[in-house]
Structure 1
């Protein structure tokens, strides 16, 4: 079945986004903008849209906002995955609602080159 036959099928750009997410090593993350930059097209919103529509089959928790704040509504599932993978987290301050940690982008960001390489 081709994309023309299935309008809900991911297009070429979406497939490249999903393939990129699959490359992110466990314990590392890329921002939505990092992925768009790495692909050389689109932007953070386009990457986010792809993940919202098709991201359930990839490690979606490895794609975060540039400030490391967790995806609203998915924080608990993401935190479980981060802890299981050893993703560096920063504690939320006491003024933060719910005291939910965020990803430590300085330590967790992946540059898209080699597993374990600091970006």
Structure 2
């Protein structure tokens, strides 16, 4: 597993109930601000194995990116955690976005190449 992948997993696991992060926000927090698509790939391939709260990650507009049954399930999970959706279907990121603080233990992780 790459250091970036390990950081993404740790960041997503740290998103508290009732909060969301954007794909780009996760990528930035993991040290690679242009890697939002990589975050999507990690969520898709590793959510089950690492029991990631995948439903707490949304797009940059605060909207659910999935357009199928999974998107409906994601909305139900978020509603169940107290996240409110606006009339346009988006989430108020000012209110519900999680902004992780730098973790002193990150000093122990290998730097991103």
Shorter-chain TM-score tier:
0.7 to 0.9
Report the equivalent of 1:23. 14
What's the secondary structure of 1:102's corresponding residue?
A: coil
1:33 aligned onto 2:33: no
Question: Once the 2 structures are TM-superposed, how far is the Cα of residue 16 of structure 1 from its aligned partner?
Answer: 1.8
- Whether 2:40 is the aligned partner of 1:48: answer yes
Give ranges in structure 1 of 5+ residues lacking alignment: 1-9, 93-100, 115-119
Whichever of the two has the greater Rg, that structure is 1
CA RMSD of aligned residues (A): 1.8
What TM-score, normalized to structure 2? 0.76
**For 1:91 and 1:27, how far apart are their aligned partners in 2?**
19
- The alignment covers a number of residue pairs equal to 97
* Structure with higher RCO (Cα < 8 A, 6+ apart): 2
Partners of 1:112 and 1:88 in 2: CA distance: 21
Gaps of 5+ in 2: 103-113
Residue matched to 2:58: 64
Distance 1:113 1:80 in 2: 28
Q: 1:106 and 2:94 equivalent?
A: yes
Task: Give 1:21 shift.
Answer: 0.5
TM norm structure 1: 0.72
Aligned to 2:80: 84
